[in-house]
């Protein structure tokens, strides 16, 4: 009896599954056209740079990863003396997006002069060279990366990199 009930249950299950049609099969029987929409997965672009105090800059690497940047951008709204302006340009050199970075050669360090960690001191150090990175939400219009330096209310272009 046990075998018969198991057999009948399996038989009914197979009939039920085979009678179900996918929406694609149903649409094709109706003669209507089936369109599938593929959603693009957002990507994050990370670009690594190396900068020297004589404004020599090199792009070390760039990588795209799937994902979406969370939160607000770390970019400043107004540049100050020595800040870098990183512009992502399209084929016709129109700005797709732009970000402002505090001068990466200037670092503020906090330290304790004694063993008492309740009192901290700080000082600003100017570096000869530094490696840094920029992360932005990737856009297919990115073809060039232009790096500029803000000085005395104007932007001096340092270098333009061909991208992809």
pTM of the model: 0.68
Instruction: Please list the pLDDT of the chain residue by residue as tens digits (164 residues).
Output: 565 666 677 766 667 666 665 555 555 555 566 666 666 789 999 999 999 999 999 999 999 999 998 876 565 678 888 999 999 999 999 999 999 999 999 999 888 887 777 788 889 999 999 999 999 999 999 999 999 999 987 889 999 998 76
What is the pLDDT at residue 58? 95
Return the structure tokens found at 55. 């404004």
Rounded to the nearest 5 degrees, what angle is found at the Cα of 131, between the Cα atoms of 103 and 108? 45
CA 103/CA 83 separation, integer angstroms = 4
DSSP classification of residue 92? T
Coil vs helix vs strand at 99:
strand
Q: Which residues pair with 150 in a beta bridge?
A: 155
Phi, psi of 59 (to 5 degrees): -90, 120
Q: Are 128 and 119 in contact (CB under 8 A)?
A: no
Secondary structure (DSSP) of 127-162: -SEEEEEEEEE--TT--EEEEEEEETTEEEEEEEEE
- Smallest Cα–Cα separation from 133: which of 46, 14, 44, 45? 46
Question: Cα 84 to chain center, whole Å?
Answer: 18
Sign of CA pseudo-dihedral 135, 136, 138, 143: negative
């Amino acid at each position: 009896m046990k075998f018969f009930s198991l057999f009948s249950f399996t038989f009914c299950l197979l009939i039920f599954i085979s009678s179900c049609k996918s929406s694609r099969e149903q649409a094709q029987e109706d003669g209507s056209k089936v369109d599938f929409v593929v959603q693009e997965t957002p990507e994050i672009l990370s670009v690594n740079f190396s900068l020297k105090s004589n404004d020599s800059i090199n792009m070390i690497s760039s990588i795209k990863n799937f994902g979406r940047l969370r939160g607000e951008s770390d970019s400043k709204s107004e540049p100050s003396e020595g800040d870098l302006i990183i512009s992502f340009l399209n084929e016709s050199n129109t700005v797709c997006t732009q970000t402002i970075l505090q001068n990466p050669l200037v670092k503020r360090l906090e330290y304790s002069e004694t063993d008492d960690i309740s009192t901290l001191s700080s000082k600003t150090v100017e570096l000869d060279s530094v490696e840094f990175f920029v992360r932005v939400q990737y856009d297919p219009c990115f073809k060039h990366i232009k790096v500029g330096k803000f000085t005395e209310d104007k932007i001096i272009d340092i270098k333009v990199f061909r991208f992809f």
